[in-house]
Amino acid sequence: MNPPHNRLLNALMGAKEPRIAFWMSPQNWPDDAGDHIFAARALLRLGRIQHGDNWSDSSPMTELAWELPETLTLYTPHSDVMRAVSVLDQPNNGMGGLASFGVRDEFPTQIEWAKARAIIKQLADESWDRFMPYVYTARRIALACRANVMRSAIRAPEGGAFNECEWHLWNLEGGWTRFDTCRLMPDAPYSKTLPTADGHWLFLHAADFDKFCEKKDHAGSPEQNEDAVKKEIEQVRQRRSSGGRPDKYPWDEMAGELFRIIHVEGIPDYETEQQLPRRLMEWAEVEWSSAPSINAIKPRFAKWLAGLKKECNA
């Protein structure tokens, strides 16, 4: 079998992040009930009012691109190196491609790295431009809940009664990210971990929301603190793309090594597949001087390989 195309890197790194998976699956959202409207439907409605023709219902599900570190070093995460190679390997990029990047010791040159940074920077800017209307809208609702202008409530995934949320549950930085999955963990409401299947669904009081939508200051000025929000987001982007020495077990590097193997050797047969987790552990012992256990590697390996096979069969 021919080695997979570089586009499979996204599949290798696992399933889509929870925000994207949630917003791409409205059929799984709970119904509005009684005096409550589900938070995701409320956000879409306010986004259309607030941004008009500049709004797209796809904004919340934008797949964000992150800039590459400024310099390429020995400590640059393997996933970043492979992202650079992926864009350089595309036709008509003026670089002639790097189709030979199948050997781990072969890295882009500094000129190629600068070219890749410019391409990915443009992709990142475009993705954040699509994403920001969602940020502004989610933040506006979160601030209204914190000011107790809009009441919110949660409901267990299985159903049942609504439990009212006190205003102080919104008294935290980045409260707007709760709309990434429209869930809240009642036992850990301030957790930085994004709640998914175990979280309770988030609702808004329909009467409060309707009144909020009738306000006249939505049009023309969707976010009064737009500059402050942009500054906050820019800081997030800079931290994410700063690079640096990897942690003890940088799993993205191991995923990159698996991608390199399959890029060269193709999708493994059953016998080879059974040997790959131990092969990755031996690779980690050399590269990191300390390897995670085979039991820690196997579930991640299964997830990475399943993503690759799915893309190959698409």
pLDDT 10s digits, 184-224: 999 888 877 778 788 999 999 999 999 999 876 544 444 45
Q: Which single residue is written with the structure tokens 């790194």?
A: 13
Q: If you count them, how many residues does the chain have? A: 314
H-helix segments, 147-269: 206-213, 226-240, 251-265
**Would you list the domain boundaries of the chain?**
1-27+246-314, 31-72+108-240
Q: Is the dihedral of CA 103, 105, 110, 113 positive or negative?
A: positive
Give the closest residue to 64 by CA, choosing from 173, 170, 144, 177. 177
pLDDT 10s digits, 34-82: 899 999 999 999 999 989 999 999 999 999 888 998 888 767 777 788 8
| Secondary structure letter of residue 28 according to DSSP | G
Residue 238's pLDDT is 63
pLDDT band at 87 (very low <50, low <70, confident <90, very high): confident
Six token digits for residue 114: 């600068």
| Secondary structure letter of residue 290 according to DSSP | S
Please indicate whether residue 6 or residue 69 has the higher confidence score (pLDDT). 69
How do 163-165 and 183-184 pair as beta strands? unpaired
Four-point Cα dihedral 12, 126, 220, 23, nearest 10: -10
pLDDT 10s digits, 107-145: 688 888 999 999 999 999 999 999 999 999 999 999 999
